[in-house]
Amino acid sequence: MGGQNSQDSTLERRSLIWNDNDIEDGTVPGGISQAEIYKGKFFTRGCRGKIEELQLYCIGDGADTITLRYSPHPCIGPLDEITIVPAAAWAWQAFVIEEMWNYDSLFIWVHACEGNVSWAFDAVEPFDGHESGDAGATWADLDIRPFIRAVYTGETPGDVPISGIINNVPIPGLSSHHVINNKILPLNTLTLVSEVEGAGYVDLVVCRVATQLDADHTYFIFYADDVVCFYWNPYDLNDWGFDAYTQPLSVTKFLEDGECVLMITKRWEFRRSFQVFALNILRAQFVYARIYPVLMR
């Protein structure tokens, strides 16, 4: 008996995680959301393992798309997303993942949904729906059951989940990712230059403004989860004595009315997004930003 129990504890579980009314393909559901976004489903335990696919009971026109995002829980940004084109019939549509999931909980939500796609739900307990009115910054309980399932081919039989995932180094992490953008900066207009969504930290940001009158008066503003964490322009930084050798904030290139480059190696942690904006109240500019995040995966 002991040997059998020991063997059972090492074998993977192949299972379907679900909470719906067992609806079968071809059945028109009682609750229908057409093109609705930022509504999702939360599985609170037992989700660590290999996710083969996510499933959504939905219908489309064979052309319009729907995108699901997923994360460990509603309080952090997406760890990944996947988009499909649903068929023109009510059915369980597969979003193929085939990746290991290292967290004990799983939150899945509709991030984007084109006009001819509808997805199903019901209003029967136990409820597990959530909705957001601010693009995922906060989530409220919703008394529905979205028809979303998770298919596992390598679910663990039960072990200690990863915890402390918000303020610690993300494990595992994706550190090779970087986000680059070049943007025309209109006069006196706060403009998003670069953005990364997810959860993790940034420890290197490079910002550049091209040669132009008043280029050195261009402000770069960083937001971590919609909170300002950096607000400087090259002119002020140079005036305060920052140069190529001051760290974690370096002005590696400075010219009045010319090209200016900032390199910031300070670490900022975020749970949903990190954004670089730019602003110049004197003249239109051409700006550039590169973000190097380490993201939870």
Q: Would 166 be classed as within a structural domain?
A: no
Q: Would 168 be classed as within a structural domain?
A: no
Dihedral in degrees, nearest 10, Cα atoms 56, 61, 62, 65: -60
Longest dimension (CA), the chain: 81
Could you say which of 120, 155, 190 is where a domain stops?
A: 155
How far is residue 32's CA from residue 297's CA, in Å, rounded to a whole number? 32
Residues 190 and 273 in one domain: yes
Q: What is the DSSP letter of 216?
A: G
In the chain, what are the helix, strand and coil shares in percent, each to the nearest 5? Answer: 5, 50, 45
Residues 26 and 78 in one domain: yes
Could you say which of 129, 155, 181 is where a domain stops?
A: 155
| Token pair 């001819």 in the structure block, residue | 116
Q: Would 51 be classed as within a structural domain?
A: yes
Residues 66 and 205 in one domain: no
Residues 62 and 178 in one domain: no
Residues ≥6 apart with Cβ < 8 Å to 281: 187, 188, 217
Q: Would 161 be classed as within a structural domain?
A: no
Could you say which of 99, 124, 155 is where a domain stops?
A: 155
Range of 16's domain? 2-155
pLDDT for the residue 168: 47
Residue 138 in tokens: 């906060």
Q: How many C-beta atoms surround the C-beta of residue 132 within 10 A?
A: 17
pLDDT for the residue 1: 40
Number of domains, the chain: 2
| Token pair 């990712």 in the structure block, residue | 177
Residues 47 and 151 in one domain: yes
Residues 97 and 143 in one domain: yes
Residues 27 and 140 in one domain: yes
Q: Would 165 be classed as within a structural domain?
A: no
Question: What CATH number did the domain enclosing 285 receive?
Answer: 2.60.120.1390
How far is residue 153's CA from residue 97's CA, in Å, rounded to a whole number? 11
pLDDT for the residue 264: 97
Q: Would 279 be classed as within a structural domain?
A: yes
Residues 79 and 189 in one domain: no
Q: Would 163 be classed as within a structural domain?
A: no
DSSP state string for 107-152:
EEEEEEE-TT-EEEEE--SSP-EEE-SSTTSS-EEESSEE-EEEEE
| Helical (H) or strand (E) element with 8 | helix 2-10
| Token pair 């200016």 in the structure block, residue | 260
Residues 45 and 187 in one domain: no
Question: What CATH number did the domain enclosing 107 receive?
Answer: 2.60.120
**Strand partners for 249:** 264
How far is residue 271's CA from residue 31's CA, in Å, rounded to a whole number? 32
Residues 270 and 146 in one domain: no
Residue 233 in tokens: 């322009």
Burial class of residue 243, CB neighbours in 10 A (0-12, 13-18, 19+): exposed
Residues 267 and 204 in one domain: yes
Residue 34 in tokens: 């057409």
Q: Would 160 be classed as within a structural domain?
A: no
pLDDT in tens, the chain (297 residues): 444 455 566 777 789 999 999 999 999 999 999 999 999 999 998 898 999 999 999 999 999 999 999 999 998 889 999 999 999 999 999 999 999 998 899 999 999 999 999 999 999 999 999 999 999 989 999 999 999 999 998 777 655 545 444 444 445 566 556 788 899 999 999 999 999 998 899 999 999 999 999 999 999 999 999 999 999 999 999 999 999 999 999 999 999 999 999 999 999 999 999 999 999 999 999 999 999 998 887
283 within 8 A of 214, measured Cβ to Cβ: yes
Residues ≥6 apart with Cβ < 8 Å to 130: 39, 40, 41, 42, 74, 107, 109, 139, 140, 141, 142
How far is residue 81's CA from residue 179's CA, in Å, rounded to a whole number? 17
Residues 225 and 262 in one domain: yes
